[in-house]
Amino acid sequence: MEKIGFIGLGIMGKPMAKNLLKAGYSLTVYDVVPGPVAEVVEAGAQKGTSCKDVASKSDIVITMLPNSPEVKEAVLGKDGVLDGAKEGMILIDTSSIAPLASQEVSKEAAKKGVIMLDAPVSGGEPKAIDGTLAFMVGGPEDTFNKVKGILDVMGGSVTLVGEIGSGNTTKLANQIIVALNIAAMSEAMTLATKAGVDPEKVFNAIKGGLAGSTVLNAKMPLALEGNFKPGFRIVLHIKDLQNALDTAHSVGVPVPLSSVAMEIMQALKVDGHGADDHGGILQFYEKLAKVEVRRQ
């Protein structure tokens, strides 16, 4: 069985690593924050001292980091993955970063004989814990086939969408749709509440129709409780939308609705809600309308 390295044990990475341990994989882990490392080591992993150290002990290295600069630093930087990698090692970056950054890191990795897949995920913390994430993968098909079984341990769906960078392009499309779904839900439910209709009854009435969605089913019950504990923080969605805007503009695609969603999230960040779950977009509308959308 392959020896796996895992770098980045945040909200998403920690449960993903634990699911690999439960499946019996040998795991070496590293994070700049010691607490999660100790927790995953207690669950059966080996402790790595650096990204280089993790790579030197692994056939496959998985990274789950906040954004492009962190991935570049972890892989290309001093004592990074490539400093410890053996020829033939596979790098699976499950972070959500700019597609061009994935291509840049892959190009450098290839010089060391390391093959890279970009494999961002959707589903947030609950699906990371359950092992039912959706993986969108870019890279060589033969490499994808070698590691699909490992991704299946952490995911409910694992799809190869194209060459390197296409995984993150797919994730950007996903994040646009999620942001706009949450904004639409928030706008509609604020209207219903201010007009005197119970938002929970509205939710139950529409969830089985054309307006129903996975986003609505996941976020509305939490909103009704006023629960905006982060599964996916607003500041991280801002990061994804910035990557979406940059990518869209670089290829000549206007994205007006994404720009509006970005400004709503920026307003929430300024208002102190950046660490809230992206379902907290609702709070932008509640403040404007001076009403709370809650279970009655």
Domain boundary among 144, 163, 182: 163
77, 202: one domain: no
Percent of the chain with pLDDT over 90: 97
214, 142: one domain: no
- Rg of the Cα atoms in the chain: 20
The pLDDT value given to residue 257? 98
Mean pLDDT across the stretch 29-36?
A: 97
- 295: in domain: no
258, 227: one domain: yes
| Residues known to be catalytic | 171
148, 39: one domain: yes
154, 214: one domain: no
- Tell me the pLDDT band of 124, cut-offs 50, 70 and 90: confident
Mean pLDDT across the stretch 137-164?
A: 98
Residues 6+ apart with CB under 8 A from 240: 96, 171, 172, 175
Q: Cα–Cα distances in Å, from 83 out to 24, 76, 129?
A: 27, 8, 31
Amino acid at the residue 241: L
pLDDT tens digits for range 36-89: 999 999 999 999 999 999 999 999 999 999 999 999 999 999 999 999 999 999
Domain boundary among 136, 163, 190: 163
How much is the pTM?
A: 0.93
The pLDDT value given to residue 1? 83
Residue where the block lists tokens 């010089």: 111
Domain boundary among 129, 163, 197: 163
Please give the mean pLDDT across all residues of the chain: 97
The pLDDT value given to residue 231? 84
Mean pLDDT across the stretch 3-31?
A: 97
pLDDT tens digits for range 256-294: 999 999 999 999 999 999 999 999 999 999 999 999 999
- 8 Å CB contact between 264 and 258: no
Q: Quote the tokens at residue 167.
A: 């995984």
Q: Would you call 87 exposed, middle or buried from its count of C-beta atoms within 10 A (0-12, 13-18, 19+)?
A: exposed
123, 200: one domain: no
Q: How far apart are CA 20 and CA 75, in angstroms?
A: 21
User: How many folded domains does the chain comprise?
Assistant: 2
Q: Are strands 133-138 and 121-122 parallel, antiparallel or unpaired?
A: antiparallel
225, 156: one domain: no
The pLDDT value given to residue 203? 98
180, 262: one domain: yes
- 296: in domain: no
* CATH number of the domain that residue 218 is part of: 1.10.1040.10
What is the span of the domain harbouring residue 218? 169-289
- Tell me the pLDDT band of 141, cut-offs 50, 70 and 90: very high
E strands, the chain, in order: 3-7, 26-30, 46-47, 60-63, 90-93, 115-118, 121-122, 133-138, 155-162
191, 271: one domain: yes
106, 204: one domain: no
